[in-house]
Structure 1
């Protein structure tokens, strides 16, 4: 299932909305979600859609079947840190690098909280 298909299904099942209404309620352009069929969404816009639908970004991306949104403030701080990260020569980090960095940051914070 693609990102757009998952958003469409989730919006319909949870809220009774179509993609246009979902985009409007998320505070993004009315055709933004449709464009994600061929374009990679900006992280903040995808996060806004996830929040509006009450699910996690990982769920929308098909990375997990757990719909629960991130309620942990720490998780939001990790996402904000990842959004500001850049790789060599100021280029945005790739999705693969993002996942690696997310794991490193969460592992560090989990270890730190155990002490």
Structure 2
């Protein structure tokens, strides 16, 4: 997987932005991004874990609002994520679908990383 933090990919009518990348997993923020790239409205999250033990090669966690939860849309998102990760569509997989999260709990930051600071 040759993806770096901050890389972005078009998915349907929105953008998936890589936020955390590891050798066997990746986490994306899902957002509507303006054409000039200056404004971004996050609306969901997707995580893909690869090389899993058990009945599936890949596990996809998808947290999106109701209007993205039709099975055709979920399937299109899963297929596009696999395309981004250069995975064959014959991988066994499961998609866990949940509503958009409404809360976030941050633990300590890793060495060399700091929480964002808002100026204003």
| Pairwise TM-score range, normalised by the shorter structure | under 0.3
More helix by share: 1
More strand by share: 2
What is the TM-score when the length of structure 2 is the normalising length? 0.24
What is the TM-score when the length of structure 1 is the normalising length? 0.25
